[in-house]
Structure 1
Amino acid sequence: MKAQSYSYPLDPEWTVAEMTTVIDFFRAVEDAYEGGVQRQHLLKCYRQFQTVVGSKMREKQLGRQFASQSGYQFYPVVKQAMNSEQKILKMVGD
């Protein structure tokens, strides 16, 4: 497991609950790269993340910020989760 030495891209206008929702999604993405994550858990976190973020444009902005800080891209993880029947998702690579 990588030692985390970056911060999550968060909006200071979000409530604590909203920040927690976004962080939960980012952690699920990290888990997919670092060892595996339950597919259903990741999809649930993503749906909740979408309700907080509110728009595709903002989602893409946060995705770029998260990728630049962590090295993890969430779009491939979400895409695999949506197109797969696997119970555990495990990303290979970078």
Structure 2
Amino acid sequence: MIRNNYSYPIFSDWSKDELIKVVKLYRSVEDAYEINQGSRRDLILKNYQIFTKINPSKMEQKQLEHKFYLASGYNIFKTWQKARKSNQEMIKM
């Protein structure tokens, strides 16, 4: 399911650098769903780790993940779980 007309969920208190880093996670998850070969496993894991450092609150992480899912239909947590459990270089959802 490719949806091009949605906004990424963000928090207004993020710095420009933090915003860029979180968008990298969103894009790597989108790639796992949208691109035939999927998304690079190492990028998903790295971007998710950065995401959790920017948003250390589990509640905030879940809020953002839920908003992203509602907007895109793509599940960040399930993508991260698959990447974490896999030995494959590319992750396809």
TM-score band, normalised by shorter chain: over 0.9
The alignment's TM-score, normalised by the length of structure 1, stands at 0.92
CA contact (8 A) 2:3 2:72 kept: no
Return structure 1 stretches of 4+ with deviation > 2 angstroms. none
In 2, the alpha carbon distance for the partners of 1:57 and 1:65 equals: 12
Aligned length: 91
Unaligned runs of 5+ in 1: none
Q: Structure 1, residues 16-63: CA drift from partner, whole Å, max 9, x if none?
A: 001111100000000000121110111011111111111111110101
The alignment's TM-score, normalised by the length of structure 2, stands at 0.93
SS at match of 1:69: helix
In 1, the alpha carbon distance for the partners of 2:60 and 2:3 equals: 27
| Cα RMSD after superposing both structures | 1.2
1:16-27 aligned at under 5 Å gives the runs 16-27=16-27
Q: CA deviation at 1:3?
A: 4.6
In 2, the alpha carbon distance for the partners of 1:62 and 1:9 equals: 6
Unaligned runs of 5+ in 2: none
Q: Percent identity?
A: 40
